[in-house]
């Protein structure tokens, strides 16, 4: 089965040029001008005319939580609904977080996630591991997880009693990665201090959703980010800060990088487009925007955009972790600390970053591809099979119409959640054709994917993305 995508503008992290793309089976066979007239390409089984369109790599979202058990409930998307929504939005690979339960081995956590994902996932997926307990046995097991293609481990500096680890445990895990080549990813907020503030606010009767933001100040994200980087420096390892939301945390990353520490960080669309004002919407509406770290005052956004330009932030992921407003967020009606933490976003990332990034003039199309696909693929051991368009790479391709205008809404999105954080927002850009390994997942507004067609990706060890030219 061969497919020719002709007349489009092909964009990679390095280049942008008018070219045709020839796909043979699951892989890209050739990229060049005038392919349409030559040999196999002229006789392709399927031809897609991409005139006026950008042809770009499928998105790679390295931070999702399908069916995460959290806050007394489960994230509302499973691997079937969440990966279908991802594909609708132009994302063809996710890296989700398997969770080690207390008392469990890492292998048990990983196997449970593989059982959930394998029969359901429409798109290829990798897994990180959330490590909740550190012991000599768990440290040895990290090596075995890396051999099974899971070389990245998320540790928490927040959520005492649920996920939080102390500095000694974090340092021990980092020291192990100095030997085994794994990567520690940190949720960097000072959970101890935040917990004291939360109890104080509740005792004062401050129960509304906005207090979630007020009790998790950006200074405590900055402090934890600084501490995470200092611990990594001491261990002599790279470190990756997840869902970075504030200028204080960004300064800590920038400062670490400027003195040569291999510190890396991602941010997410919610921190670029939403703010504390959303958390403060009237009534209980703010609950729709409860995530951690929380949304910040809007003036942090310009700093984050600058970080994406200067490469102090290397990745845009979603931290997709949806909970229904009516049935799930409501658990915290009288207590903001009981609102399940997390936002939907896996479907909107590609277009949001295009609209607010490229169309608004903050970043170039090549930088867009770097942030949305190439850097995540490199850092998380998927490159060059994923994350770029090149002969031999998997044919994970998005044909993107930059002129299409649409309005984001829960009435039209495909994520299994009853609200959109971006309800009514007008955006420019639409993934019109989405392909994974040469198979069309989305075309002409129809979904053609199959649950279980996505494959588990055994990833190789961390390798830093070179800074953009
Ligand atoms: O609020 C969030 N971010 N929920 C998902 C879990 C996490 O900390 O990433
Ligand atoms: Zn987190
Ligand atoms: Zn997360």
- Residue in 319, 337, 345 to alter for ligand 1 test, most ligand atoms within 8 A of Cβ: 319
Q: What is the pLDDT of residue 41?
A: 86
Alpha carbon nearest to ligand 1 atom 2, residue:
342
DSSP letter (8 states) at residue 120: T
For ligand 2, a single-atom ion, the residues with CB < 5 A are 187
Helix 167-180, helix 136-147: angle, nearest 10: 40
Cβ(342)–Cβ(291) below 8 Å: yes
The C-alpha angle with vertex 404 and arms to 401 and 405, in degrees rounded to 5, equals 150
Q: What is the pLDDT of residue 468?
A: 54
Provide the pairing of β-strand 426-436 with 439-443: antiparallel
Q: What is the pLDDT of residue 232?
A: 98
| Atom of ligand 1 at shortest range from CA of 290 | 1
Alpha carbon nearest to ligand 1 atom 3, residue:
292
CA of 296 to the centre of ligand 1 (A): 15
d(C-alpha 165, C-alpha 130), whole Å: 11
- E strands along 256-396, which residues? 263-267, 315-316
Alpha carbon nearest to ligand 1 atom 4, residue:
342
Residue 409 burial (CB count, 10 A): 13
Q: Where does 236-328 have alpha helices with state H?
A: 247-258, 269-273, 276-279, 300-310
CA of 292 to the centre of ligand 3 (A): 8
Cβ(218)–Cβ(296) below 8 Å: yes
d(C-alpha 272, C-alpha 338), whole Å: 25
- Residue in 62, 65, 164, 274 to alter for ligand 1 test, most ligand atoms within 8 A of Cβ: 65
Alpha carbon nearest to ligand 1 atom 5, residue:
342
CA of 63 to the centre of ligand 3 (A): 6
Q: What is the pLDDT of residue 36?
A: 83
Q: Tokens 């994350």 belong to which residue?
A: 387
Alpha carbon nearest to ligand 1 atom 9, residue:
319
Name every residue whose Cβ is closer than 8 Å to that of residue 447 and which is 6 or more positions away in sequence.
84, 87, 88, 414, 441
Closest ligand to Cα 319: 3
Helix 167-180, helix 218-235: angle, nearest 10: 40
| Atom of ligand 1 at shortest range from CA of 159 | 8
DSSP letter (8 states) at residue 343: B
- Residue in 321, 345, 346 to alter for ligand 1 test, most ligand atoms within 8 A of Cβ: 321
Alpha carbon nearest to ligand 1 atom 8, residue:
292
50-to-96, 238, 255, 355 alpha-carbon distances in Å: 31, 40, 43, 19
- Residue in 71, 341, 417 to alter for ligand 1 test, most ligand atoms within 8 A of Cβ: 341
Pocket of ligand 1 (CB under 6 A): 65, 187, 243, 291-292, 319, 321, 341-342
| Atom of ligand 1 at shortest range from CA of 65 | 5
CA of 383 to the centre of ligand 2 (A): 25
Closest ligand to Cα 187: 2
- Residue in 291, 320, 343 to alter for ligand 1 test, most ligand atoms within 8 A of Cβ: 291
CA of 322 to the centre of ligand 2 (A): 13
| Atom of ligand 1 at shortest range from CA of 292 | 1
CA of 69 to the centre of ligand 2 (A): 13
pLDDT (tens place) for every residue of the chain, 469 residues total: 999 999 999 999 999 999 999 999 999 999 999 898 888 888 999 999 999 999 999 999 999 999 999 999 999 999 999 999 999 999 999 999 999 999 999 999 999 999 999 999 999 999 999 999 999 999 999 999 999 999 999 999 999 999 999 999 999 999 999 999 999 999 999 999 999 999 999 999 999 999 999 999 999 999 999 999 999 999 999 999 999 999 999 999 999 999 999 999 999 999 999 999 999 999 999 999 999 999 999 999 999 999 999 999 999 999 999 999 999 999 999 999 999 999 999 999 999 999 999 999 999 999 999 999 999 999 999 999 999 999 999 999 999 999 999 999 999 999 999 999 999 999 999 999 999 999 999 999 999 999 999 999 999 998 766 655 5
Instruction: Provide, for the chain, the percentages of residues in helix, strand and coil under a 3-state DSSP scheme, each rounded to the nearest 5.
Output: 35, 25, 40
Q: What is the pLDDT of residue 462?
A: 82
Q: What is the largest CA-CA distance in the chain?
A: 75
Cβ(158)–Cβ(164) below 8 Å: yes
| Atom of ligand 1 at shortest range from CA of 97 | 9
């Amino acid at each position: 089965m061969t497919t020719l995508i002709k007349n489009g503008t092909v964009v990679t992290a390095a280049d942008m040029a008018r070219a045709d793309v020839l796909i043979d089976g699951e892989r890209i066979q050739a990229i060049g001008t005038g392919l349409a007239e030559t040999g196999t390409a002229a006789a392709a089984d399927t031809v897609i005319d991409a005139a006026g369109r950008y042809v770009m790599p499928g998105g790679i979202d390295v931070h999702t939580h399908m069916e995460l058990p959290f806050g007394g409930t489960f994230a509302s998307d499973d691997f079937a609904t969440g990966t279908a929504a991802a594909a609708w939005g132009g994302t063809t690979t996710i890296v989700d977080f398997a969770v080690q339960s207390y008392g469990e081995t890492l292998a048990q956590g990983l196997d449970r996630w593989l059982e959930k994902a394998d029969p359901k996932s429409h798109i290829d997926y990798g897994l990180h591991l959330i490590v909740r307990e550190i012991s000599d046995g768990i440290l040895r097991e990290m090596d075995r997880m890396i051999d099974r293609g899971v070389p990245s481990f998320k540790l928490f500096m927040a959520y005492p009693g649920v996920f939080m680890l102390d500095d000694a445990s974090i340092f021990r895990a980092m020291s192990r990665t100095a030997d085994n080549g794994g990567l520690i990813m940190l949720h960097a907020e000072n959970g101890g201090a935040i917990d004291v503030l939360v109890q104080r606010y509740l005792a004062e009767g401050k129960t509304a959703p906005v207090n979630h933001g007020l009790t998790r100040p950006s200074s405590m994200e900055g402090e934890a980010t600084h501490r995470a980087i200092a611990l990594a420096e001491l261990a002599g390892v790279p470190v990756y800060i997840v869902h970075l939301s504030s200028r204080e945390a960004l300064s800590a990353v920038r400062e670490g990088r400027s003195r040569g520490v291999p510190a890396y960080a991602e941010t997410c669309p919610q921190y670029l487009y939403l703010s504390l004002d959303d958390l403060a919407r009237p009534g209980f509406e703010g609950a729709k925007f409860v995530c951690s770290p929380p949304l910040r005052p809007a003036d942090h956004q310009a700093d984050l955009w600058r970080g994406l330009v200067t490469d102090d932030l290397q990745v845009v992921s979603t931290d997709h972790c949806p909970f229904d407003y009516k049935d799930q967020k409501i658990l915290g009606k009288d207590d903001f600390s009981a609102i399940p933490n997390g936002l939907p976003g896996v479907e909107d990332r590609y277009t949001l970053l295009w609209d607010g990034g490229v169309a608004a003039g903050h970043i170039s199309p090549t930088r867009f591809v770097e942030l949305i696909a190439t850097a995540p693929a490199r850092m998380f051991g998927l490159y060059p099979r994923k994350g770029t368009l090149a002969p031999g790479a998997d044919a994970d391709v998005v044909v993107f119409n930059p002129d299409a205008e649409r309005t984001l809404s829960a009435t039209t999105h495909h994520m299994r959640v009853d609200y959109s954080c971006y309800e009514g927002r007008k955006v420019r850009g639409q993934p019109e054709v989405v392909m994974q390994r040469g198979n069309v997942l989305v075309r002409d507004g129809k979904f053609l994917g199959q649950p279980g067609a996505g494959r588990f990706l055994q990833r190789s060890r961390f390798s830093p993305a070179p800074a953009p030219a």
